[in-house]
Amino acid sequence: MERLEMIDKLMERADVTFAEAKEMLEQKDWDLLEAMVALEEQGKVKGAHSTSDNAEGVVYEEVEATASRNAGEGEKEHAGRRLFKFLGTLLRKGMDNKFIVEKNGEIVLTLPVLVLVIIMMISFWFSGILLIVGIFFNYHYSFEGSDLGKDNVNGTVDRVTGAAKKVMDDVASRISKGQKDAEDKKG
């Protein structure tokens, strides 16, 4: 239930103005039942001084039912807001942080991390292989930004790149040694 509906419901059940109903709900953290109880204590609830307990019971049952419905709706609304807030933060961070490709100290390509993630999701194998081949052709990868441009992130990228280059150098030396051995056997 929206806040305006809660104010209207309180105005229906109590002898209060719009401003009084809104103020009471704000004081009670938008809890309709607590607001109704507080107004009853002030003698402003319609039928509160009735001799019939049934009249009061009906009012409280309706307010409790409305309050419990509101709690369920509020939790769903709160969860939805949290989800959208999280997604918004994730998108903002994905656009604020950059993936940088360099060769010989010159920047060849700069992409928002969000774009890199989308590319990796669409064509994981192709883009993964492309990144590995880039290491063999002396491309350097790094991240820039408030979240990913940290030394530990770029240090990890450098260690992976260094390990890949070591494997490449090892394979190259074995190939050249094999070729040299083959030439020595011929000659």
> How does 80-117 read in b/e, with b if 16+ C-beta sit within 10 Å?
eeeeeeeeeeeeebbebbbbbeeeeeeeeeeebbbebe
Contacts of 119 (CB under 8 A, 6+ apart): 111, 127
Look up residue 75 and give its two tokens.
């939790």
In the prediction, which pLDDT does 52 show? 40
Domain ranges of the chain: 3-92, 97-186
Say if residues 127 and 92 touch (Cβ distance below 8 Å).
Answer: no
- Tally Cβ neighbours within 10 Å of residue 70: 21
Look up residue 43 and give its two tokens.
């003698």
Mean pLDDT by 10 residues, the chain (187 residues): 84 88 90 88 70 46 59 65 86 90 93 92 91 87 83 84 84 84 77
pTM over 0.85: no
Dist CA 120 CA 118 (whole Å): 5
In the prediction, which pLDDT does 119 show? 93
Report phi then psi at 16, rounded to 5.
-135, 155
